[in-house]
Amino acid sequence: MEIYKITPRGLENCRFDDMSREKGNRYWLLLTPEEMVNANGFFNFNSRTIDECLSNNQVPRLEVYESFSFGVINIINKEKDFILASELNFYLTSNYLIFVTKDSSSDMIKAVKDEIDGNSIDLERILYIFLDRLTASDNEILKDIEEDISDIEELVIKGENRDYIMDIVSLRKQLLFLKRYYEPLLDIAEGLEENENGLINEKSVRYFTILKDRIERLNRNVLNLRDYITQVREAYQAQVDINLNKIMKLFTVITAIFLPLSLIAGWYGMNFKYMPELSWVMGYPFAFLLSGIVIAICLIYFKKHDFI
């Protein structure tokens, strides 16, 4: 359990007993789910939200009650193929901001502590900094994804003989994951901006307006990139179809050349008694020459009509 008292000089460590005696001050708390259960006799939060703190894989969202707001946030590890890293629940009241997580020493929370250490701060600003950190590097991530899509598009246009399906599917999965990440995060930012229970002062509401606008832009970028990768996939499929058509064209030409040869072979394979070519000394050279002439005529015709 970590408890920080909000003072004009910044954060000040304190104990739970001290906090319970000084109810007029504002505090930031970092608790595990078990510690939250034990401390709820003091806070008296809705029992359902306490149960959700103990469970895993909750849907990210914001629930607004008369005296507090309860939120569920997923913190993802964007450096390792977008693997879900941890879940954090938070309570915001007029005097307390409580982060409930099994990983209270996470890099995200450490970064928030470093940013506000020694500075005048309030609870709303702490929550804003934390939510802002969740998307701080996302423009770079989306830029990298866009460059990957652009590289695939360039190779497809050049006609590089390679299977790009797995690359395209991987990029689409990343974008789908980000879309599912931003949409609930946007709902949380909008809920905090609306401030239905009046826990956030008017000056601090603008923080969440800025946050909401940023997440909206990121979400739009994701949707644009999904359209982009769809266009690249269609271009790749068109290229595959073109290559297939070329192969089918080649087989068609070969078949067309051998059809008259098959006719010649079938005709002279009938072995009728009175076929003069069968007893002619030049019969075999004649059949050979005739086949060569047929092949040459076919090749000239197909070349003239750009079939080969």
**Distance, CA of 152 to CA of 167 (rounded, Å):** 8
Task: Please tell me the predicted confidence (pLDDT) of residue 224.
Answer: 93
Task: Please tell me the predicted confidence (pLDDT) of residue 266.
Answer: 81
**Distance, CA of 98 to CA of 130 (rounded, Å):** 12
Residue at 291: amino acid letter: S
The ranges of the chain with pLDDT < 50 are: none
**Distance, CA of 18 to CA of 241 (rounded, Å):** 73
Task: Please tell me the predicted confidence (pLDDT) of residue 273.
Answer: 66
Task: Please tell me the predicted confidence (pLDDT) of residue 118.
Answer: 59
- 68-93 pLDDT, tens digit per residue, is 888 888 877 666 555 556 788 888 88
Is the whole model's pTM more than 0.85, yes or no? no
Domains of the chain (ranges, CATH numbers): 1-134 (3.30.460.20), 243-304 (1.20.58.340)
**Distance, CA of 226 to CA of 9 (rounded, Å):** 46
Mind giving me the DSSP string for 190-256? HHHHHTTT--S-HHHHHHHHHHHHHHHHHHHHHHHHHHHHHHHHHHHHHHHHHHHHHHHHHHHHHHH
Task: Please tell me the predicted confidence (pLDDT) of residue 119.
Answer: 62
Q: Which residues of 21-58 are buried (b: 16+ CB within 10 A; e: fewer)?
A: eeeeebbbbbbbbebbbebbeeeebeeebbebbeeeee
**Distance, CA of 97 to CA of 104 (rounded, Å):** 14
**Distance, CA of 286 to CA of 35 (rounded, Å):** 100
